A and B are shown apart, each in its own frame.
Chain A
Amino acid sequence: MKRITVFISLLFVLIILTPKVWSQSVPFFAEPALSLSKSLKGRWSANSKLVFRQQLASLENRQLDWVSQSDVIEVQLFVNYRLLGSKRLTIGYLYGLDEPFLSSAQTEHRLMQQFSFESGNRFKWVNRIRLEQRIGENQFRNRLRYRFTFDEPLSGDKIDAKEWYFVAGDEWLYTFTGVPGEDHLENRLHAGLGYMFANGQKLQIEMQYRLMRIAGARQSSAWHLLLTYNLKL
């Protein structure tokens, strides 16, 4: 319960501080996603994710302006090798389209290498370390990410079917480009609620706060409303 309180408090503080501290436009995105998992032979499994991101509004001087722009579509594919002890090695590929409905659409290819593991004794955290190579039409960027997340049932000690749960986490992302002044740090804090259906599938709705180019001249922030359906085939 302490962890839930901490994460909700942090997000609440950020909501309060956002328009005051960063006296600039803060975009608000909606991000529905569908995540599919499939067990393969032996220790192997595969995951895919379809993400659709759209800016819905912009917060400026405490005023919310409704907009509809900056669409992004991403298709992600992962292949996992399971190690015993709740550890997993993963390689992945992402194909992204920025502004896919415009003739000026930009594509991105992304290669990902990932290691995930559980930590904690009675309360488990899932840790994810990911290295990415982002290949855009005009640029190449590397990114190192570390994320920890947990979910906790609102009732009981474990998440049972037809139950709600709390989910939260934090992620640090460091982008390195080789171009002086272009390397930057980002943080993503998220918290929300999930529901597990009788068949084990999960639906999650979360608020995510992104603070980008931390401590840089071009520091900015954004809010993302994440709606993810996790389906196991």
Chain B
Amino acid sequence: MRFIIYFAFIFLVNFSLFGQTDIKVEKEESISQQEFPLEAFRKIEPMVSQSKKLRYYREISEEGINYEVKLKFEGTYYSIEFDSLNKLKDIEQLQKWDDYDGKSRSRMEVQLDSLFSDYKVMRFQLQVIPNEKLNVIESLPLQEEMIWGRNYEVEIEAILKDEQSPRYYELLFDAHGKLLQQRLNAKTSNDNLIY
């Protein structure tokens, strides 16, 4: 009896491993500060010395290799991304959706209501696309009134109007609250932590 149970267990595990398909499109790996490109690092160096919870990453995707630093600066979480040529790609500033009362909020809510029968905002970030005329890093924390290009990245758990099952989505709105991009966020299951 015991042998049968062990055999069944091993069989089920092996069966499930068979026929895996590679679904990965982006790989993110932790790197040390020394591995972070020096030229890019120099642009954030003054800020880094005053920051906490610093983490450096290398992102490999179909678009190429990007470098990202995540940190906590003056009580706010930021994510600063550079391309492989050390050019600043964007800065994301984590904000609480409930605390955000900017002009674009109502426009974003109207669009969310039109797309989804129910939704819950899980994460909200102000995303700034750099402008050559301004030193974005020295302008932190990012302000609603800043004139250069900005977007809002909203991660939600929601049910589309023509569907019944909740899913995770990542939405990108422009400064005026117009929806630019909507994509499924492939969040991994956390069943392993619940059962």
Contacts and interface: CB of A to CB of B under 8 A. Distances in A.
Between B12, B70, B118, B191, the greatest number of chain A beta carbons within 10 A of the residue's beta carbon is seen for B191
Given A73-B5, A160-B28, A197 B17 contact: yes
Contacts of A42: 164-165
Given A49-B195, A73-B5, A202-B192, A85 B157 contact: yes
Interface string A160-171: 111000010100
A207 B29 CA distance: 26
A230 interface: yes
A84 B192 contact: no
B55 A157 contact: yes
A200 B22 CA distance: 10
B188 interface: yes
A47 B192 contact: no
A160 B16 contact: no
Interface residues of A, number: 57
B119 interface: yes
B30 interface: yes
Nearest to A2: B53
B27 interface: yes
B28 A156 contact: yes
A157 B194 CA distance: 21
Contact of B120 (A84, A202, A231): A84
A150 B194 CA distance: 10
B94 A122 contact: yes
B23 A151 contact: no
Q: How large is the interface on B (under 10, 10 to 19, 20 to 34, 35 or more residues)?
A: 35 or more
Nearest to A35: B195
Contacts of B193: 126, 149-151, 167, 169
Contacts of A197: 17, 20
A156 B57 contact: yes
Interface in A21-46: 32, 34-35, 37, 39, 41-43
Nearest to B119: A84
Contacts of B189: 37, 200, 230, 232
Contacts of B9: 32, 34, 50, 52
Given A155-B29, A156-B27, A156-B57, 9 more contacts: A35-B192, A35-B195, A37-B189, A84-B118, A85-B120, A158-B28, A158-B188, A159-B188, A198-B23
26 contacts: A34-B9, A39-B165, A52-B5, A52-B9, A73-B5, A101-B1, A116-B194, A149-B194, A151-B190, A151-B192, A155-B28, A156-B27, A156-B28, A157-B57, A160-B26, A160-B27, A162-B24, A196-B188, A197-B17, A197-B20, A198-B21, A199-B20, A200-B188, A203-B13, A230-B189, A232-B189
